[in-house]
Structure 1
Amino acid sequence: MAKTLQLKNKIIVFLLLILPTFLYSQSPPSITADGRQAFCTGNAIKIVTDFTITDLDDTTIDVFFIQISIGYQAGFDKLEISGNHPNINSSWSSSEGKLTLTSASSGSEMLFSDLENAVKNVVFTTSATNIESEKTFSLSVTDKNYLPATDHFYEFVSAIGITWTAAKTAAESRTYSGRQGYLATLTSKEEADFAGKQASGAGWIGGSDAGTPDVWKWVTGPEAGTIFWNGGVNGSSPNFAFWNTGEPNNFDNRGEDYVHITAPGVGVSGAWNDLTNTGDDTGDYQPKGYIVEYGIPTDPPLNIVASTSIYIPQIIVTTSATLCESGSATITATANDGIILWFNSLTGGTQLATGRTFTTPILNATTTYYATTSVNGCTTLQRTPVTVTVNQRPVITAVVNALICAGSATLRATASAGQINWYTSQTSTTPIFTGNSFTTPILNTTTTYYLEANNSNCNATTRTEITAVVDGTKPEFDVMQNTYVLCNDIGSVILETTNEQANYTYIWKKDGEIIAGNTTSNTVSAIGNYTVSAISAAGCTSEEKAIAVINSEIANITKNDFIIVDDASNNTIYVNNPNLGIGNYEFSLDDEFGIYRSLGFFENISTGIHTLYIRDALGCGTQEYQFSILAYPKFFTPNEDGDNDIWNLEGYDKNFYTVSDILIFDRFGNLMYTIDKNSEGWNGDSKNGKSPSNDYWFKATLTDINGYSVQKTGNFSLIRK
């Protein structure tokens, strides 16, 4: 029993002796790096001014990483070892901006002394023409990507086809140097760019709107619950988001609730897109892995990483100058580091001066100088233009005077350059207005103002007059007629003014409303009460003059509007319809241009064809109505003495009648003769020879060109001597 107890005590003592050694041997190496240096463009620069790596129980390391973590310009920037380092191999990854150092001997590790020497000789070069002004280098004993701004580590884990939920679980199962992993939460542009460059394909990160549609939150890591986007494509961020163009769009409403970094070549590099939990089966939207972030605010610092930086000295403030016509000027420039040099051209050229200020020689034209800063003799840094502007004295190039009736006038002017100051006299010192267009106060008399052009305190040598002319004369004119007739069959009438005392602009109104037209005449097509007023060139308005437009029309007549009495002792025609139209009508018989009467009745009309003229008293036209007055002879004497040898209707014109049928009968009803259109009448002959003296009967059926029909019967005597 005593031996057993003694053995146990010896074992405990042994373990207590070796445990510190075991723990001591598990500690990682510690690195330090110094370097905040000015970069001379066009040259190589070492990324550190000093570097050390130590380990309490080791003097070698298998691999070391140096990455351009901020400001990396892919395809242009590069890290490489300068000098001879036979024990170190280096490999440059342009996609990650990372230089990897390993032992030159297979199966062995690098000595700390060799690594320190190599790192001190790592140089940065770039072929970019537009170089980022700040670049940060991360030095690390791990292949995890380190971002100094967050003090976190990041890695892209390849896992083709992995779902978002599986990626979240997998990320949270990973640790690094005691730091818990989680799907990355990218809360700044710097962090998003850094992580985005690591994804070789669509890679999940820790954002989602599952359960809260269109309210996107970080759901992993220390930022869990933080909203970073509200809405869809046209939404907004309360802090930071880096969606790709047209995202998030919940394509086809298929439940795209999870955020991934878009595959390289799809839209904006490193930007985000929304996908379903599974993503696509193939292509750019098939998940290729996920981004793991290691680090929370309470993590203790790790000495396995260090960082250095370079910056480009540059001009940050300049002061230009302006001269009038000619002279010398002093210009200035301020840099964030170094000594300021002045040159006469953007590249090459001659150095003119050194220092923050530069006084130019006498200048007659605008001239640009170029300032740059020099650190440690560097003369290749970007030059910044500083301009001395030499203004020529401006002149007034045009003025637009104003003519007004009364009140305020608007005057306008233009200058060859600069602005225009307005004065009340040639010698006043305080301008009343500055600008190209000036509205005067209320004016009662013609007033002149004085203009002076000013271009950056370079004033014109003389002032130019501009005048507001006040002319209160009211326009005078007459109207051609106070009343116009608008005939229904014409459609329009021209209203006219006359006796204008000057060139006016006119305002035409109908029933109090302004109508189109502003000249001396106006064509109107509707009756009503019109007015016209004139406006002078100065803007004075006349009194309104009234014009009435009434309507009328040519008479509308038919055969039924007339009563004709013929074969009487007093042949007459009478217009028996008082409603021939809306006009006031006058009448004339057989003389269109003769005397008209207001009553449509005419008597003692001779036999034959007559024309009744019906005229609209207001001038809308004259209608014509042709009619025939007939008489029936009581006897005829066909004795061939040339006197009354033929019987026919008196006043009969065969061309006036469309239907003409005149039959002659004896007293027994026997048809003796038919007078047709081609006949001159009856000469007393019949088929049995000469008809004896006796009474005979006639029947006349006539229709004239107006459609007026008449049927007459009667008797007459044939007398033979």
Structure 2
Amino acid sequence: MSGITSICKGANTVLSASSTTVTNPVFKWYTDASLATTPIYTGTSFNTGALSASTTYYVTVSGDNKCENLPNTAKAITVTVNEFATSADITVANTQICSGSTAMLVASSLTVTQPVFTWYNDPSLTSVAFVGPIFTINNLTATTTYYVTVKGSNRCENSAADAKAVVVTINPLATPTDIIVNGGTAACAGGSATLTASSPSVTNPVFTWYSDAALTNITFIGSTFTTPIINITTTYYVTVKGDNKCENAAGNGKAVVITVTPVANATDVVANDATICAGSSAALVATTTTVTNPIFTWYRDAALTSVA
């Protein structure tokens, strides 16, 4: 016997019989093992016609030197009819990447035996992009939809209408306008500042603080950043990334300037000593020519622990 015995639903196959022991063989094809019905075909090659379910045929032979097989002794040939796979037979997730980076799509199936996955560029399934379960796409710059099918020993490949669509979304880069920074941006020399970042436009934001505009030197990761001790005016750069945005590009972080004011010293204060009689009062007047909008605080001790 020869011929394809595993076909897709709605297809047909041609089965061919031959014999090396029967002279001038005549083959008859039946649908029942008892051979009680009229043969559906007589001849060497039998075209099944379109099949919608697995079917077993029984073929007999007779010739110059052999009589036809007896009931239940015919040769049985089963044509297995496989259903077409559907999108439900494929497990694969959409993914999100940054522009120019690499996406990896992984397909699997719990219902198809020995699955073979084919990825297409178009919904009509005319342009094959890749064959295999793991499809790697490099340097994507625009959101793209791919279509994956599966076939195996128990399923035929999906039709175009039933392929699984997989979307690779290209997330935009965050910009400084995606970040809001609150907190003190002024500090005294030898002090520090606490800054808090938030974003109304980035989902599940992750903030990274840098000490340089090129974003090469990370100082902290998190929304609330307390600077180290600083003695000069310093600029920090904060970026954000999340489910819907990629991290700011180098040179495009949000700049936050911490202005450092030097500590005043005795030479910044002008005040005269006073001499009074016991029991009298004195008015002490302080001025400065070096401090803008000065606020003077008077203490009783040099350690500045007791405010007068």
Larger Rg: 1
User: As a proportion of its length, which structure holds more helix?
Assistant: 1
TM-score normalised by L of structure 1: 0.21
User: As a proportion of its length, which structure holds more strand?
Assistant: 1
Task: Report 1 or 2 for greater relative contact order, CA contacts < 8 Å, sequence distance ≥ 6.
Answer: 2
TM-score normalised by L of structure 2: 0.42
